[in-house]
Chain A
Amino acid sequence: MNPLRTINFILLFWCFVTLAPSVFAQQTGSAEQEVPPELAALGADSYAAKGEAIQALVASGHPRTRTWLTALLDGKLQRLEDSGRFVIVTENRGRDWTVIDAVDDAPLGEVSRRNIDRITINNALRNQLRSAMAILDLDAPSERERLASADRLLGEVDANLAEPLAARLEAEESPAVREKLAQALAIHRLQSGDSEAISDAIDTLSGSLNPAVRAALNGVAAGEGDAAEAAQQALASIEQKLKLNRAAETLYFGLSLGSVLVLAAIGLAITFGVMGVINMAHGELIMLGAYTTWMMQQLLPGQPGLALILSIPAGFLVAVFAGIIIERSVIRFLKGRPLETLLATFGVSLILQQLVRTLISPLNRTVVTPEWMSGSLVINEALSLTLNRLYVLGFALVVFAGIMLVMRKTRLGLEVRAVTQNRAMARSMGIRATRVDIMTFALGSGVAGLAGVALSQLTNVGPNLGQSYIIDSFMVVVFGGVGNLWGTLVAGMSLGVINQVIEPWAGAVLAKIIVLVFIILFIQKRPRGLFPQKGRAAEG
């Protein structure tokens, strides 16, 4: 017997016999183990004794309680066969397992698995452990963690847990956690059989949107008597609330899709609506914006957030630059020939697509979503809004407001409107129409670039990104009425919502077809869109 083991043995012996380990406090280290009595008790032989030990451990408030209970539940709390030392197995693959000391986490290296004994538990103990840990979590300092653990307790409360939970409820300060705990207890009371307690519980539960609550209420509602009726009523009101929430969710998704459409279409509304230029390469300008985001993230590895923010001006500039090239090299030669402009810019779009395929890759590129944009905003149990869509929605509105400001309040906007209404007259007033053309086209292209930056957060970035939006964006502009930015906003948002409303019962593809057919029919009825231009501008 080596001396170390002897010491260990003696130490453990002392622990068990004297139950006064503090005497050795100064001497313990990784070499020796001083076992607190609460932990030692877990090593008892009978399951009943272990159950009592768990209760005692929870009651003791020992700082490592949670670690031990978790390890015990996972079957990782074990003892070395020879020394009886309590260890936690961290790696249990292969012949030799890596273990750490259960008391102070000191690494003990690898031990042959034959020399370790697991502290066994049965199903009853497992349940007890889970509830015990749930209660423990309710002591967590942050309200968020307490709420999460209270949430986990819904439908899991049993007779053992009810009492400590009720005590916990008294002590709880946060109203949100209190509500959750009350619901958890109420679900338990539903099964109690005492009619008063049941009707009380139903009162507590009505209005909750949690699926566990609904399941419990469904159980009661299936029965007979007053309680069942009350439960049915509660369920009906819950159903009502759920419907509202679902409607809100559809609306949110619709607005989100709408915001994407508005972003994609607003640049088009400027070039097509204001200038009368059909830019079929608009989708590819969006694509360039998206690829700019990707490029920025490649240039700034590990900082996706910063890269994304920098891509907003970068995407704008790249698209503006591309737009100016397109305007100067193609569009200016086709003034007043809209159909030819359409064809030529379509050619440009093919070239740009192929350029990306050749220079970068025909495959999709992934753009990382920064941390502050992922996750979702939880409104209640039935409704949570994904953050990236929320940001894009906000971004779309900001861009729209910006464009409105430029068009209404700046000199450029004034000149653009003048040239749109009467080119010859505007020129004779000293406005340089050619320069205005370039600026307008550049602005429209830049907005397409911004749309691309936003879209990179929602969809795959690939050479076909633009193509998939071009028809939709044209539909939005045509539906809203050419030359009317408000029309574009209203049309984009309403098409998005209509699409989302139809989608659940028609499927995504059919919904799209229905929307397209709807617009085709709508245009027959109102050829100038929702908000037609009035007066002289309409003639042009």
Chain B
Amino acid sequence: MHWLAKPATERSTQVFIGVLTAALVAVCLLNLLLPAGHPLHVSTYMVTLLGKYLCYALLAVAVDLVWGYLGILSLGHGAFFALGGYAMGMYLMRQIGDRGTYGHPVLPDFMVFLNWESLPWYWHGFDMAWFAFLMVLLAPGLLALVFGFLAFRSRVTGVYLSIITQALTFALMLAFFRNEMGFGGNNGLTDFKELLGFPLSADSTRLGLFVASGVALGLGYWLCRAIVSSKLGRVCVASRDAEARTRFLGYRVDRVQLFVFVISAMIAGVAGALYVPQVGIINPSEFSPLFSIEIVVWVALGGRATLYGAVIGAILVNYAKTVFTGVMPDAWLFALGGLFVVATVVLPQGLAGLLAKFKRTGPAASAKEVKEATA
């Protein structure tokens, strides 16, 4: 397991994990110890909001893994995120039991409403936590496996792949909007009560979910770091920069791409699964192409191929979104649109690149790689 331990020796990982841990501990302490009126008190609402950002950050790390290091611009990662979310949502739905509006012991409310007789076969097993959590990994993983297998074997890359992934998530969105699919259609899954026996409305559960998101982000970051700094990671970067040349050197580029793509999809699924209990709803809008492409802009703004840049980008953009939609909702799309343009035209290496420019050390090398890779 040498490669898994390797990130511990990297300075950037040490700093990242350190900052993340400090932030988690600080938020917990400020939430628990300070009284509600104190200016430094972090409210439970804020904790949930931060937890949401952490889930987005994990999702951004997953996208950065495939885009930054593999050169695959996936415009459909929202689909994996949503699938993980739906797996979690189905578990939470089953946990409601007979406390729903219609009081049916097995069927979720929307199924009773639609006059379904019995649970569809794919809903079985989701009453067990271990099965649901397994599906959080397997559902996005399998989709990525099948899709990636077909795509990479045929050497569909570049813009083609981007557009196809977008079509994939678009098709899934249309499918999940259908009531006949058995995923609650338009309204999705909501009205969750408890997770593993903990009531979701309780402050302690919310704080727990926040910490869990933070830990997941740390672990995900660690895993991605371990992959990119291993020999496999070198092959990834090689295939990103010169795919044909890597293939001629004897590497099975398609297998490398498939492996990393599936891992990335699973990380996205975990992010979705942690996201759903915190926001309390999952519906087909998470599949919308706009959301998927938004993820990419988080990464682009933060800085491609740095991983920590993706985290910074995700948190910054979503914080901005929260502020904008609260203060002047109309301006948000202008700001987001402008962000897309600025991130690509003015800041091709993102904020991380800007940081590196000041420091002239560390990530500068990888940022330079990015510039060359995209040419």
Which residues of chain A have a CB within 8 Å of any CB of chain B?
A: 272, 278, 330, 333-334, 336-344, 346-351, 353-355, 357-358, 471, 474-475, 478, 509-510, 512-513, 516-517, 519-521, 523-525, 527
A347, A351, A474, A509: the one contacting B177 at CB < 8 Å is A509
For the complex, give the distance between the alpha carbons of A355 and B338 in Å: 12
Contact B156 A524 (CB under 8 A): yes
Contact B158 A523 (CB under 8 A): no
A334, A354, A521: the one contacting B333 at CB < 8 Å is A354
User: Taking the nearest CB of chain A, how far is it from the CB of B333, in angstroms?
Assistant: 4
Task: Check B336 for interface membership: any CB of A closer than 8 A.
Answer: yes
Contact B154 A343 (CB under 8 A): no
User: Taking the nearest CB of chain A, how far is it from the CB of B185, in angstroms?
Assistant: 11
Contact A358 B330 (CB under 8 A): yes
Contact A349 B175 (CB under 8 A): no
For the complex, give the distance between the alpha carbons of A509 and B167 in Å: 14
For residue B333, which residue of chain A has the nearest CB?
A354
Contact A354 B156 (CB under 8 A): no
Contact B174 A348 (CB under 8 A): no
Known: A340-B348, A523-B154. A347 touches B375 (CB 8 A): no
Task: Check B334 for interface membership: any CB of A closer than 8 A.
Answer: yes
Contact A513 B150 (CB under 8 A): no
Task: Check B139 for interface membership: any CB of A closer than 8 A.
Answer: no
Known: A354-B333, A524-B151, A524-B154. A340 touches B374 (CB 8 A): yes
Task: Check B337 for interface membership: any CB of A closer than 8 A.
Answer: yes
List chain B residues, Cβ under 8 A from A337.
Answer: 344, 348, 374-375
Task: Check B257 for interface membership: any CB of A closer than 8 A.
Answer: no
Task: Check B29 for interface membership: any CB of A closer than 8 A.
Answer: no
Known: A340-B348, A354-B333. A520 touches B177 (CB 8 A): no
Contact A344 B163 (CB under 8 A): no
For the complex, give the distance between the alpha carbons of A517 and B175 in Å: 11
Task: Check B155 for interface membership: any CB of A closer than 8 A.
Answer: yes
User: Taking the nearest CB of chain A, how far is it from the CB of B286, in angstroms?
Assistant: 17
For residue B149, which residue of chain A has the nearest CB?
A524
Contact B155 A342 (CB under 8 A): no
Contact B150 A521 (CB under 8 A): yes
List chain B residues, Cβ under 8 A from A341.
Answer: 344
Known: A347-B336, A347-B337, A354-B330. A520 touches B167 (CB 8 A): yes
Contact A520 B164 (CB under 8 A): yes
Contact B168 A520 (CB under 8 A): yes
User: Taking the nearest CB of chain B, how far is it from the CB of A473, in angstroms?
Assistant: 10
Excluding A333-B345, A513-B171, A520-B171, 17 further A-B contacts by CB distance (< 8 Å) are A337-B375, A340-B300, A343-B297, A344-B340, A347-B336, A347-B337, A347-B339, A350-B340, A351-B334, A474-B163, A478-B163, A516-B168, A520-B167, A521-B150, A524-B151, A524-B154, A525-B154
Contact B167 A519 (CB under 8 A): yes
A336, A342, A350, A351: the one contacting B162 at CB < 8 Å is A342
Contact B160 A478 (CB under 8 A): yes
For residue A477, which residue of chain B has the nearest CB?
B163
Task: Check B343 for interface membership: any CB of A closer than 8 A.
Answer: yes
For the complex, give the distance between the alpha carbons of A336 and B168 in Å: 26
For the complex, give the distance between the alpha carbons of A537 and B154 in Å: 20
Within 8 A of A (CB), among B159-216: 159-160, 162-164, 166-168, 170-171, 174-175, 177-178
For the complex, give the distance between the alpha carbons of A341 and B171 in Å: 24
List chain B residues, Cβ under 8 A from A517.
Answer: 171
List chain A residues, Cβ under 8 A from B167.
Answer: 471, 474-475, 516, 519-520
Within 8 A of A (CB), among B314-353: 330, 333-334, 336-341, 343-345, 348
Contact B171 A516 (CB under 8 A): yes
- B297-308 vs A, CB cutoff 8 Å, 1 = contact: the mask equals 100100000000
**Ranked 9 nearest A-B pairs via Cβ:** A347-B340, A350-B337, A351-B337, A354-B333, A516-B171, A344-B344, A524-B150, A347-B337, A340-B344
For residue A519, which residue of chain B has the nearest CB?
B167
Contact A339 B174 (CB under 8 A): no
For the complex, give the distance between the alpha carbons of A340 and B347 in Å: 11
For the complex, give the distance between the alpha carbons of A251 and B173 in Å: 28
User: Taking the nearest CB of chain B, how far is it from the CB of A290, in angstroms?
Assistant: 19
B151, B159, B168, B338: the one contacting A351 at CB < 8 Å is B338
List chain A residues, Cβ under 8 A from B147.
Answer: 520
Task: Check B313 for interface membership: any CB of A closer than 8 A.
Answer: no
Within 8 A of A (CB), among B345-375: 345, 348, 374-375
- B3-34 vs A, CB cutoff 8 Å, 1 = contact: the mask equals 00000000000000000000000000000000
Known: A337-B374, A351-B338, A474-B163. A343 touches B343 (CB 8 A): yes
For the complex, give the distance between the alpha carbons of A523 and B348 in Å: 30
**Size range of the interface on B?**
35 or more
Known: A339-B73, A339-B374, A516-B170. A510 touches B150 (CB 8 A): no
Known: A337-B374, A337-B375, A509-B174. A330 touches B333 (CB 8 A): no
Q: What are 29 of the A-B contact pairs (CB < 8 Å)?
A: A330-B341, A337-B374, A338-B158, A340-B348, A341-B344, A343-B343, A344-B340, A344-B344, A347-B339, A348-B340, A351-B333, A351-B338, A353-B333, A357-B330, A471-B170, A474-B163, A475-B167, A478-B163, A509-B174, A509-B175, A512-B174, A519-B167, A520-B150, A520-B164, A523-B151, A523-B154, A523-B156, A524-B151, A525-B154
For the complex, give the distance between the alpha carbons of A475 and B339 in Å: 27
Task: Check B104 for interface membership: any CB of A closer than 8 A.
Answer: no
Task: Check B217 for interface membership: any CB of A closer than 8 A.
Answer: no
User: Taking the nearest CB of chain B, how far is it from the CB of A357, in angstroms?
Assistant: 7
List chain B residues, Cβ under 8 A from A516.
Answer: 167-168, 170-171, 174
For residue B296, which residue of chain A has the nearest CB?
A343
Contact B159 A344 (CB under 8 A): no
User: Taking the nearest CB of chain B, how far is it from the CB of A15, in angstroms?
Assistant: 71
For the complex, give the distance between the alpha carbons of A338 and B160 in Å: 11
For the complex, give the distance between the alpha carbons of A338 and B168 in Å: 20
List chain B residues, Cβ under 8 A from A272.
Answer: 159
For the complex, give the distance between the alpha carbons of A343 and B290 in Å: 11
For residue A335, which residue of chain B has the nearest CB?
B375
For residue A278, which residue of chain B has the nearest CB?
B159
Contact B155 A527 (CB under 8 A): yes
Task: Check B289 for interface membership: any CB of A closer than 8 A.
Answer: yes
Task: Check B255 for interface membership: any CB of A closer than 8 A.
Answer: no
Q: Among B155, B158, B174, B345, find the residue whose CB has the most chain A CB atoms closer than 10 A.
A: B345
Task: Check B129 for interface membership: any CB of A closer than 8 A.
Answer: no
Contact B166 A471 (CB under 8 A): yes
For the complex, give the distance between the alpha carbons of A222 and B354 in Å: 84
For the complex, give the distance between the alpha carbons of A100 and B201 in Å: 75
For residue A510, which residue of chain B has the nearest CB?
B178
For the complex, give the distance between the alpha carbons of A474 and B297 in Å: 21
List chain B residues, Cβ under 8 A from A354.
Answer: 330, 333-334, 337
For the complex, give the distance between the alpha carbons of A358 and B160 in Å: 33
List chain B residues, Cβ under 8 A from A512.
Answer: 171, 174
Task: Check B293 for interface membership: any CB of A closer than 8 A.
Answer: yes
Contact A343 B153 (CB under 8 A): no
User: Taking the nearest CB of chain A, how far is it from the CB of B290, in angstroms?
Assistant: 8
